[in-house]
Structure 1
């Protein structure tokens, strides 16, 4: 029962991310890659490891859809983080645990490969973290670097 509940929660999270990405100015950052899903997947795993970030889980939404006889283009959610960075966010405002650890979605849509993630500035606004003196710009830069490296920008 726990496994099926986790799969449902993961599928809902993936659908929410996808739907929000379509709307303007919803705090979602995006990088497009000319590479295939498998190569971007491996590059993202490598980039996380290089930076000492813990990969908590990868949710394969496509496989989950297939398990109930539905179809979904390649869609994976990478859940990762660093407790030294995330804990101060949660100490500032516990509700940010809804959005941490960090997530990055790798998905195929409209003939393109996308990496998408929540902007730390959006999370700060959503959870009222502005007065906490958190390293939002540093976190934003790391997420941007991860996505660009995984997407193959400048490293092919």
Structure 2
């Protein structure tokens, strides 16, 4: 059994009805369709296998928009530790797939920003993991 971190720690966890791979594909498509750049897609389970280790499916996507992020990093240099943005897609011990990411409010508080940054990111993630006919 695992414990999901909650929003109090800045981590948002959203359940997906699709596999890790399909969820990651849908996230990448959503990000790219909104002008975001995909910097990396890291299959962490594959990296583990190459090292002789086993883990459940897990992929990390690094994404962002340099035109939006660069001015923020210039003004708030510490923000560069959290950019590009990341979405972690992973399967738990029960076979449930999750998407985890830092909440905009967490990033705001962590770096002393006047407003939560990257607000549309949460909506894009929600839309990407929502299946037709689901609320």
List alignment gaps of at least 5 residues for structure 2. Answer: none
Q: Name the counterpart of 1:71.
A: 54
Q: Name the counterpart of 1:116.
A: 100
Contact 2:60 2:89 (8 Å CA) reproduced = yes
Partner deviation per Cα, 1:43-64 (whole Å, 9 max, x = no partner) = 1121111101000001111011
Distance 2:16 2:108 in 1: 27
- One of 84, 96, 99 as aligned partner of 2:79: 96
Secondary structure (helix, strand or coil) at the match of 2:56 reads coil
Contact 2:6 2:13 (8 Å CA) reproduced = no
Deviation at 1:112, TM superposition (A): 0.7
TM-score, normalised via structure 1 length: 0.75
Matched residue count: 132
- Runs of 4+ with deviation above 3 angstroms: 153-156
TM-score, normalised via structure 2 length: 0.86
Q: Name the counterpart of 1:144.
A: 122
List alignment gaps of at least 5 residues for structure 1. Answer: 1-18
Q: Name the counterpart of 1:53.
A: 36
- One of 41, 46, 56 as aligned partner of 2:24: 41
Query: What's the Cα RMSD here?
Result: 2.2
Contact 2:7 2:103 (8 Å CA) reproduced = no
Deviation at 1:34, TM superposition (A): 1.1
More helix by share: 1
